[in-house]
Amino acid sequence: MSPQPTPPRAEGDPAIRPRHPSDPPQTPPEKAGEPLLRIRGLGVQFGGFHALTDVDFDAREGEVHFLIGPNGAGKTTLVDIITGLTKPTTGSVSFDGQQLVGHKEHRIVHFGVGRTFQAATVFEALTVGENLDLAASYRLGLRRLLRQPRGHADAVVEALEVTGLADEVDKSAGALAHGQKQWLEIGMLLAQGPRLLLLDEPVAGMSPDERTRTGELIRYLARGRTVLVVEHDMDFMRRFADRVTVLHEGRILRADATVAEVQADPTVQEVYIGRARDDRNSAGRSGAAAAGAPAASDDEEAA
């Protein structure tokens, strides 16, 4: 029915091959340096409900940092605050020394922060190439926007190649397969040249094959940038994460750990295994509620 997605072109590149569980744990390159993203004492309330409480969080350049936790843990809320969609009640978010709280969404993008959404949102009436071109042109003034574009910028060409969408460049984005839309959205981020990328459940609804390719894409993105990934998929995290932070009920359960540390952590296991057991007993949503996460604050609703 839908055409088989072509794999990202960067497959052969050894630097971006998927991490194997037996690989030695990667130490982030600049562990000692000032973190690119620094969050302190962050808290937010929605009409009395504490979605996040006293969150401290750091992410350094060049790392793929996974943000995990059960439904309602506040992962998407955290991303929303960093990108200016939600205003925090307390706390600060500094990015490369720049305070982000209080700036409008589109200003924050200009500081070098980009994000994707849980449900991939691309401009379906435009072609793939036009989508990427629009993303790459965000610094142009009105006068240059009013010109008719000719050819593709280097950033657009790179994004087309890395996402494997070069053959679809003139195809309407609405006609892409689900996985391809996700890649296009990531490609749009790439074309903007941000230093911090926030990916909200990038592999939701993808086949195992597509997951692997998305993971490779994420590793490629992380070169010289910081990638923050919100994910439910534990297996995906194990394969592609450098660092992991676990959120639970709006609090940090385990900050800035390695995959191995998180897997060995009994409290993390408690949260996840407890949740898994509940999931077996009662279905889906009520399971999350039983694990202590209010169903009403499901992450999906914030997207």
Q: Quote the strand ranges of the chain, DSSP E.
A: 37-46, 49-59, 64-68, 90-95, 98-99, 113-115, 196-200, 226-230, 243-248, 251-257
Contact between 193 and another protein (CB under 8 A)?
Answer: no
**Phi and psi for 160 in degrees, rounded to 5?**
-60, -40
By the 8 A CB rule, do 112 and 195 touch? yes
Asked whether position 133 contacts another protein by CB under 8 A, the answer is yes
Partnered with residue 196 across adjacent β-strands are 113, 226
User: What is the C-alpha separation between 247 and 182, in angstroms, rounded?
Assistant: 24
What tokens does 70 get? 């059960």
Please state, in angstroms and rounded to a whole number, the distance separating the CA atoms of residues 39 and 58. Answer: 6
Tell me which stretch binds another protein (CB under 8 A): 16-24, 100-108, 214-222, 230-238: 100-108
CA torsion, ordered 136, 63, 45, 91, to nearest 10 deg? -100
Minimum CB distance to another protein, residue 107 (Å): 8
Site string for another protein, 145-184 (x = CB under 8 A): xxxxx---------------------xx-xx---------
Taking CB under 8 A as the criterion, the residue among 83, 163, 180, 182 binding another protein is: 83
Site for another protein in 38-67 (CB under 8 A): 46-47
Q: Least Å distance between CB 289 and another protein?
A: 16
Q: How far is the CB of 142 from another protein (least distance, A)?
A: 7
As measured in angstroms, the least distance from the Cβ of 126 to another protein is: 6
The bridge status of strand 243-248 relative to strand 251-257 is antiparallel
State the residues that interact with another protein by CB under 8 A.
46-47, 83, 85, 104-106, 109-110, 114-115, 117, 121-126, 130, 133-135, 137-140, 142, 144-149, 171-172, 174-175, 188, 192, 297, 301-303
